[in-house]
Structure 1
Amino acid sequence: MWGLLHFEPEIPTIFIIFLKWQGIITNFYHIVICILPRYSSLLNTNQPKKMKTKIFASLTCFLLFVLNLSAQPRQELVEVIVSPDHADWTYSLGEQAEFSISVYRNNVLLDGIEIEYIMEPDPGYRTLKIWDEGTRILKNNSTKIKSKKFTEPGFLRCTATVEVDGKEYSSYTTVGFAPDKIQPTTTLPKDFESFWEKGKEELNQVPMNAVLTLMPERCTDKVDVYHVQLDNIKGKIYGILTKPKKAGKYPAILHVPGAGIRPYYGEIDEAAEGFISFTIGIHGIPVNLDQSVYDDLSRGALNGYQTFNLDDRDNAYYRRVYLGCVRAVDFIESVDGFNGEDIAVTGGSQGGALSIVTAGLDDRIDYLAAFYPALSDMTGFLHGRAGGWPQIFVEEFTNKPEKIEVSKYYDVVNFARFVKVPGWYSWGYNDNVCPPASTYSAYNVLTAPKELHLFQKTQHWTYPEQQELKKEWLFTKLKK
């Protein structure tokens, strides 16, 4: 069985459809939305504590099993392989990339068939411009295609498509040209720091009023689990706290979420290893409700929340979210058993963005670890290259001067400029949701200690090895 892949669910639905199209099977969504809530409702009955614990454990095991089956890349009868001539997929300016294209059926190379190819720079999940396209016949089991010379830092994607027995098969590879020299297109507003200092001052005037509710059905012999409610500016923030039962002083990890609206279950295994773990939602609603509540919000009131009030700097949706992350740090400092010193923040996609934002806003953060941070260099599309998720500046509705200006106050690039703590980062060149041009735009302005772990082939998901590397880095830093 393949190792478990991890990917961040990105709502709206177009991203789920895209992931399916790219070969990520997402039956997981159907399990969570349609099946799990029906059985998890048993946890809200008057079942004995021991029975509730068994039910929760069974549901967890079932979910992990489904994830292992459903989050794997879909295997097709015919595989199209696009291989660059540099093993690290990275080139210097002025170089040409050469792609070798081959096609396998039943692990046997095919020959004499026609392939279509297209080369496009920095595409995201849209086609911005086409550099080259055409057809080739596979001879001696492959064909080679050379790109133009790249004179500016960026990325180039080569997509190959073949038809076999009336069905199309496709694959792509994205290579980088001097990605470490990519600079952001967004700019730093002169009052950026004062704007956010004012926001934190406003937050400080709001009492935290923490309400912790023990969740006995989720507790183990080593870990206590709580549902947490905190007061935030203009609403609440909710999360799941997991902490060791054993008395002691522990470092803490704040988990910030990928995009979407969903329940959370907490990091029980992490707490069992000697950490206080706090996993938050960002939408001001409890994170332990029936799945149908989140489904309704996703389709209704919170559909497209990413662009809510984007023309109003003081009321943009992410203002409350970003300050809510600071409130989460406030709470961690108040938790009995926190060692008073060591806090890390971590997440992927929107969570990767929030990790950088939190570290940029709050000097109580000591370490951060981020996968493919979203909301980075969102104005990229206005300059002929892919911008970061949610990839909004491509249509007249969002391409308004006031929206573009407000985005600068929420772009991860501008928070990265103020990060002062060590960071661990990881992404792939093939990511269409958070394209590498956008993530490098944030990474390249970081002046704090940083390390980048590239897994070039990955799209908007991670290998188990990436997750293990992140975990090892964080645990080592926090238990120094």
Structure 2
Amino acid sequence: MRNRSLPLLLLIFCLYLNPGLAQPVERFVKVIVAPDRTDWTYKPGDKAKFTISVLQSGNPVKNTLVRYEIGPEKMPATVKETKTLANGTISVEGGTMKDPGFLRCIAIAEVDGVEYRGLGTAGFGPENIQPTATDPADFDTFWSEGKADLAKIPLDAKMTLLPERCTETVNVYHVNIRNYGNSRLYGILAMPKKEGRYPAILHVPGAGVRPYFGDIANAEQGIITLQIGIHGVPVTMDAGVYDDLRAGALSNYQNFNLDDKDRFYYKRVYLGCVRANDFLTSLPQFDGSNLAVTGGSQGGALSIVTAALDSRVKGLGAFYPALSDVTGYLHGRAGGWPHYFAGSSRDFNDKKDKIATTAYYDVVNFARRVKIPGQYSWGFNDETCPPTSMYAAYNVITAPKSLYLALDTGHWTYPEQRDLMNGWLLKHLKGE
């Protein structure tokens, strides 16, 4: 008898392993911080207030000592105070911002000797945030030459059936193909068993090193899905292997060769996403036209990058894209993950050659070149991919676009966000 829960369990397990879509851990005491407008949005020059509440079992915790700080996101605080919440809640003045950006209030409460943290973020004219990233004159030439070099490399695709992962209606394969730089690209392909031609979705990964399990749920809806890794290693090994790689050979991979745009780690990664589409579009079961790409965090970045580099992509879905406007810190505001120019990293990376390299890989410059419809989603409380950086990329997209805001989310998503994104992708691919 078919195990109907298998696809859902695999999907949940995959989401659990992917920090790009990881959920926060619930705590016994909650510190809730919220701006005083329901849409959390103000015009530059408007004054914002923040309400800080400390709750236990849904009720206010009275006479709680709270320390809080307020300032532009990821920047030094301009206000630091400590107050006692007699009734478990308090309203504090947040001030304003004269330029478009985000003002954040972080509050820490101590209850029974344990500290609990919460934050809220007010947006000031976010639709007017402009990028700091420069657009190199030879950007298009650089990537055209890279794709031309990639096209000379045979696919040499190898598919290994994974019987233990197959379902009644879907075959699941471990795939590996040749990629740029004499490397291999690995992923999990899930394909409907029924004879026919189908749309396809490429799933690109969040940051990290891990195994993958594939998108079987959408394959059961009549979609070919390919979930790839980016590190040139098989994606079906024991978890301990990835732990060792994460701590050793691939530790801080996002910094490898940042001083050389031709050798930078992400060149093979970006071109690898195009190579994944080469494979998908080569499948006889592909319908020949309907191809989408989706991911979160690093995967959100790769979704935009892939859509800009590959005209075969007809739709993109991105959660909180990383690698966006990374030079923001050099201009006195938040920049995108991996925060090359923040804190101690700035001392190491604030070099002419490294800054120049980032321009060829910054999502902002790919966003400028997106020509297809896209669905985007994030929240104002994201401390990994600051909303300033994401809006800097989103605001330069001239193609049809829609942004679904889950304001209080950090670097995670609600089920409603995932449902909306998946629904949009399926409707777009099926022309509904």
Q: What's the TM-score bracket when you normalise by the shorter of the two chains?
A: over 0.9
Which residue does the alignment assign to 2:76? 129
In 1: Cα distance, 2:28 partner to 2:274 partner? 49
Determine whether 1:164 maps to 2:111. Answer: yes
In 2: Cα distance, 1:447 partner to 1:277 partner? 28
Q: Deviations over 1:297-342 (max 9, x none)?
A: 1111111110100001111000011011111111111112111010
Q: Would you say the 8 A contact 2:292–2:313 is kept in 1?
A: yes
- Structure 1 78/286 Cα, relative in aligned 2: closer, same or farther at 3 Å? closer
Q: Deviations over 1:390-430 (max 9, x none)?
A: 11112311111110110100111100110000000000111
Q: Deviations over 1:161-218 (max 9, x none)?
A: 2223333222111111000101111110000000000001101111111111122222
In 1: Cα distance, 2:213 partner to 2:31 partner? 39
- Structure 1 169/226 Cα, relative in aligned 2: closer, same or farther at 3 Å? closer
Q: Pick from 418, 424, 427: which aligns with 2:378? A: 427
In 1: Cα distance, 2:125 partner to 2:252 partner? 34
- Structure 1 411/212 Cα, relative in aligned 2: closer, same or farther at 3 Å? same
For residues 361-380 of structure 1, what are the structure 2 equivalents within 5 Å?
A: 361-380=309-328
Which residue does the alignment assign to 1:351? 299
Which residue does the alignment assign to 1:199? 146
Which residue does the alignment assign to 1:20? none
- Shift in Å at residue 471 of structure 1? 0.7
In 1: Cα distance, 2:363 partner to 2:163 partner? 38
Which residue does the alignment assign to 1:289? 237
- Shift in Å at residue 138 of structure 1? 2.7
Determine whether 1:149 maps to 2:96. Answer: yes
In 2: Cα distance, 1:443 partner to 1:376 partner? 9
Which residue does the alignment assign to 2:400? 449
- Structure 1 148/449 Cα, relative in aligned 2: closer, same or farther at 3 Å? same
Q: Deviations over 1:198-241 (max 9, x none)?
A: 00110111111111112222212211111111111111111111
Q: Which amino acid aligns with 1:332?
A: L
In 1: Cα distance, 2:108 partner to 2:240 partner? 39
Q: Which amino acid aligns with 1:148?
A: G
Q: Which amino acid aligns with 2:121?
A: T
Which residue does the alignment assign to 1:319? 267
Secondary structure, counterpart of 1:147 in structure 2:
strand
Q: Deviations over 1:16-57 (max 9, x none)?
A: xxxxxxxxxxxxxxxxxxxxxxxxxxxxxxxxxx9xx98x95
Q: Deviations over 1:358-382 (max 9, x none)?
A: 0010111000000000111111111
Determine whether 1:464 maps to 2:415. Answer: yes
Which residue does the alignment assign to 2:355? 404
In 1: Cα distance, 2:111 partner to 2:349 partner? 41
Determine whether 1:237 maps to 2:185. Answer: yes
In 2: Cα distance, 1:207 partner to 1:154 partner? 46
Secondary structure, counterpart of 1:408 in structure 2:
helix
Q: Structure 2: any 5+ residue segments left out of the alignment? A: none
Q: Which amino acid aligns with 1:385?
A: R
Secondary structure, counterpart of 2:322 in structure 1:
coil
In 1: Cα distance, 2:285 partner to 2:10 partner? 29
Secondary structure, counterpart of 2:361 in structure 1:
coil
**TM-score, L = length of structure 1:** 0.84
In 1: Cα distance, 2:252 partner to 2:167 partner? 37
- Structure 1 62/94 Cα, relative in aligned 2: closer, same or farther at 3 Å? closer
- Shift in Å at residue 109 of structure 1? 2.1
Q: Deviations over 1:440-475 (max 9, x none)?
A: 111011000000000011111101100000011010
- Shift in Å at residue 265 of structure 1? 1.3
Which residue does the alignment assign to 1:386? 334
In 1: Cα distance, 2:242 partner to 2:23 partner? 25
Which residue does the alignment assign to 1:24? none
- Structure 1 363/115 Cα, relative in aligned 2: closer, same or farther at 3 Å? same
- Shift in Å at residue 61 of structure 1? 6.8
Q: Deviations over 1:90-149 (max 9, x none)?
A: 1111101111222223333234443222101021xxxx2221111233355532211222
- Shift in Å at residue 67 of structure 1? 5.2
Determine whether 1:334 maps to 2:282. Answer: yes
Which residue does the alignment assign to 2:131? 184
Q: Would you say the 8 A contact 2:11–2:216 is kept in 1?
A: no
Which residue does the alignment assign to 2:37? 86
Q: Structure 1: any 5+ residue segments left out of the alignment? A: 1-49
Secondary structure, counterpart of 2:348 in structure 1:
coil
Q: Pick from 310, 317, 321: which aligns with 2:258? A: 310
For residues 7-22 of structure 1, what are the structure 2 equivalents within 5 Å?
A: none
Q: Which amino acid aligns with 2:290?
A: D
Secondary structure, counterpart of 1:251 in structure 2:
strand
Determine whether 1:474 maps to 2:422. Answer: no
In 2: Cα distance, 1:259 partner to 1:99 partner? 32
In 2: Cα distance, 1:446 partner to 1:349 partner? 18
Q: Which amino acid aligns with 1:231?
A: R
Which residue does the alignment assign to 2:58? 107
In 2: Cα distance, 1:291 partner to 1:336 partner? 33
Which residue does the alignment assign to 2:160? 213
In 1: Cα distance, 2:95 partner to 2:253 partner? 40
In 2: Cα distance, 1:350 partner to 1:417 partner? 18
Which residue does the alignment assign to 1:42? none
Secondary structure, counterpart of 1:217 in structure 2:
helix
Secondary structure, counterpart of 2:349 in structure 1:
coil
In 2: Cα distance, 1:339 partner to 1:137 partner? 63
- Bigger strand share: 2
- Shift in Å at residue 62 of structure 1? 11
- Structure 1 219/102 Cα, relative in aligned 2: closer, same or farther at 3 Å? closer
Secondary structure, counterpart of 2:219 in structure 1:
helix
- Structure 1 209/456 Cα, relative in aligned 2: closer, same or farther at 3 Å? same
Count of residues in Structure 1 that have an aligned counterpart in Structure 2: 423
RMSD of aligned residue pairs (Cα, Å): 2.3
- Structure 1 111/226 Cα, relative in aligned 2: closer, same or farther at 3 Å? closer
- Structure 1 334/398 Cα, relative in aligned 2: closer, same or farther at 3 Å? same
In 1: Cα distance, 2:256 partner to 2:161 partner? 34
